[in-house]
Amino acid sequence: MSFKRPEDVATPLNLDGYEKPFLEKLFLRMVRAREFEEQLYYLFLTTKMPGTMHQATGQEAVAVGVASALNTDDYVTSTHRGHAHCIAKDVPLDVMMAEMFARRNGVCKGMGGSMHLCDFSRGMLGAFGIVGAGIPIATGAALTSVVKGSKQVAVSFFGDGAINEGVFHESLNMAALWKLPVVYVIENNQYALSMPNDLVSAVTDLSSRGCGYGIPGEKADGNNVIAVYEAASRAVEKARNGGGPTLLECITYRIRGHARFEPADYRDKAEVEQWEKFDPIKRFKVAALSGGNFSAQELVSIEKKVEEEITAAVAFASAGEEVGAEDYLQYIFEQPSESAGS
């Protein structure tokens, strides 16, 4: 049984020593990620939503903690469960929502949908529908940094399922061999769709896999945004200074099912409820109030702000033009195609 109980994983969350604006940013990003997905969750019942979505509910601290250790021009690759990574990188909510609605004013012009969100102006190289696909791509972005001498860092987010893809191993080997400035973040939410870690991985100490390539492995309490931030900062700093890659395992839990309408019957309700008690946003609020870093009012006003942002995003998306039948012809190649028929 590889199931990790939250009380065994959790480390104390202390907001002291950090500037208020920075902490606000952390909280804002986590709440945005949460509310964006919650709103969408219900939109799937009341609106004809094309496609589906994969929620990162309960995992927000990993995305936000890591992204907050990065500059805007540092690179990030993500997975099919990529909304939180985008939001953590400050991709605007309105164009993300419009993309979910398959509108022309979506961040990918309605051509990609939930699993392929990206924003190159913010270093967000993309969510990918193929498990593990982003790992070598982030490694390649790190290669560019070395060739150009730019000091940019690349972060690859992936899950406990992706570490069994061949490209994971190929990438880690080359990153270590060439000391590339990349940080590999395993978002271990303990399930790869229906499979818990111990049913698919011979060694369930996931970050220990780095030792096969001489890459130091680290573990962090994935629902503790400060713990994640600190571990990520160290890894990013090391990479930026030519110290090579790190394998950072953030242990968290996927509160919702794998995808919208996937009921996750393979899990005990009790297990889910256990982890819900260690919800990262709840923990932040508790620490903020008990540590005197925020007043209740301040937190509520941030939450209200986010509510308004989301409402505006939905309005923006609903007002957007639906994708035209022939829009795709512009995006196959750099040169727009007149037709794609034979």
Partner 1 sequence: MATKIFLPRLGESITEAVIGRWLKQPGDPVARGEVIAELETAKAMMELESPVKGTLLAIFPKTGDTVHLEELVAVVGKPGEDWDSSEKPIVAKADDESAKLVQKKDIKTALMNDTEIRLRVSPNAKRRAKELGISLENLSQIVKDGRVTAQEIEAIKPATNISDSETIPYTRIPLNQIQMITARRMVQSAQTIPQFSVSIEVNADGLINFINARKSIGNSKITLTAILIWKVAEALLKHPRLNSRFDGNAVLQFQEINIAVAVAAPEGLFVPVIHKAHQLSVEEIAKKLEQITSRLKNKRLEIKDTQEATFTISNLGMRGITSFIPLVDPDQTAILGVGALRDGIQWDETSILLRTRFFTLTLAADHRVVGGAEVSDFLATLKQLIETL
Partner 2 sequence: MRKLSISEALREAMVQEMRRNPNVILMGEDVGRFNGAFNVSNGMFNEFGPKRVWDTPISEAGFMGMGIGAALTGLRPVIEFQYADFMFCAMDQIVNEAAKLRLMSGGQASVPIVMRAPQGATGRAAQHSQSVEAFFMHTPGLYIALPSTPYDAKGLLTRAIRMNDPVLILEHKLLYGSASPGGGKAISELTISDIGSDVPEEQYEIPFGKADVKRVGRDVTIIATLLMVHRSLAVAADLEKEGISCEVVDPRTLVPLDEDTLLTSIRKTNRVVVVSEDISRGGVTAELSALTMDKAFDYLDAPVVRVAADNTPIPFGPAAEKRVIPQLEDIKKAVYEVLKD
Residues that bind partner 2 (CB under 8 A): 75, 77, 106-112, 116, 118-120, 125-126, 128-130, 133, 135-148, 152, 154, 166-167, 169-171, 173-174, 177-178, 328, 330-334, 340, 342
| Residue of 1, 8, 17, 46 that binds partner 1 (CB under 8 A) | 46
Amino acid present at 315: A
Query: Would you count residue 42 as binding partner 1 (CB under 8 A)?
Result: yes
Q: How far is the CB of 140 from partner 2 (least distance, A)?
A: 2
What is the smallest separation between the CB atom of 51 and partner 1, expressed in angstroms?
9
Contact partner, 49, from partner 2, partner 1, none, Cβ < 5-8 Å per class: partner 1
The mark string for 256-275 relative to partner 1 (x by CB under 8 A, - otherwise) is ----xxxx-x----------
Tell me if 303 contacts partner 1 by CB under 8 A.
Answer: no
The residue (of 44 and 213) whose beta carbon lies closer to partner 1 is 44
Of the residues 1, 45, 147, 325, which one makes contact with partner 1 according to CB under 8 A: 45
CB of 221 to partner 1, least distance (A): 27
Using the rule CB under 8 A, which residue among 48, 269, 297, 338 binds partner 1?
48
- Report the partner that residue 129 touches, choosing among partner 2, partner 1, none (CB closer than 5 to 8 A by kind): partner 2
Please report, for residues 5, 45, 127, 181, 276, the alpha-carbon distance to residue 273 in angstroms, rounded to integers and kept in the order given: 11, 24, 29, 38, 5
Output 178 or 266, the one with its CB closest to partner 2.
Answer: 178
Nearest alpha-carbon partner for 110 in 326, 261, 337: 326
| Smallest distance, partner 2 to C-beta of residue 175, A | 9
Q: Minimum distance from CB of 329 to partner 1 (Å)?
A: 26
The contacts of residue 185 (CB under 8 Å, 6+ apart) are 62, 66, 155, 156, 157, 158, 232, 248, 250
Query: Which pair of structure tokens corresponds to residue 312?
Result: 């505006």
Question: Minimal distance in Å, beta carbon 125 to partner 1?
Answer: 27
Which of 2, 3, 4, 49 touches partner 1 by CB under 8 A?
49
Query: Residue 7 or 265: which CB sits closer to partner 1?
Result: 265
Q: How far is the CB of 4 from partner 1 (least distance, A)?
A: 26
CB 109 to partner 1: min, Å:
23
Q: Does 52 bind partner 1 (CB under 8 A)?
A: yes
> Which residues bind to partner 1, rule: CB under 8 A?
42-46, 48-49, 52, 260-263, 265
